[in-house]
Amino acid sequence: MEAFYTLQGEGAHSGKAAYFIRLGGCDVGCHWCDVKESWEADVHPKQRIEDIVEGALRYPGRLAVITGGEPLMHNLDELTQRLREAGFKTNIETSGAHPLSGHWDWVCFSPKKFKSPHESIYAAANELKVIIYNASDFAFAEEHASRVGSDCVQLLQPEWSRTERMLPHIIEYIKDNPRWQMSLQTHKYMNIP
**Which residues contact ligand SF4 (rule: CB under 6 A)?**
26, 28-30, 33, 35, 38, 68-70, 95, 112
- Indicate the residue among 36 and 179 with the shorter CB distance to ligand SF4: 36
- Indicate the residue among 27 and 81 with the shorter CB distance to ligand SF4: 27
Phi, psi of 7 (to 5 degrees): -105, 135
- Tell the smallest beta-carbon distance from residue 46 to ligand SF4 (Å): 19
Instruction: Give the side-chain half-sphere CA count within 13 A for 173.
Output: 22
- Indicate the residue among 54 and 119 with the shorter CB distance to ligand SF4: 119
**Cβ neighbour number for residue 38 with a 10 Å cutoff:** 22
- Indicate the residue among 63 and 71 with the shorter CB distance to ligand SF4: 71
Listed residue (48, 33, 36, 38) closest to 1, CA to CA? 38
- Tell the smallest beta-carbon distance from residue 96 to ligand SF4 (Å): 10
Instruction: Report the residue closest to ligand SF4, judged by CB.
Output: 33
- Tell the smallest beta-carbon distance from residue 102 to ligand SF4 (Å): 17
- Indicate the residue among 35 and 167 with the shorter CB distance to ligand SF4: 35
- Tell the smallest beta-carbon distance from residue 114 to ligand SF4 (Å): 7
- Tell the smallest beta-carbon distance from residue 67 to ligand SF4 (Å): 8
Contact 108, 132 (CB under 8 A): no
Contacts (Cβ under 8 Å, ≥6 apart) of 141: 128, 130, 132, 154, 156, 180
> Distance between CA atoms of 25 and 72, rounded to whole angstroms?
9
Instruction: Based on DSSP, count helices (H) and strands (E) in the chain, helices before strands.
Output: 6, 8
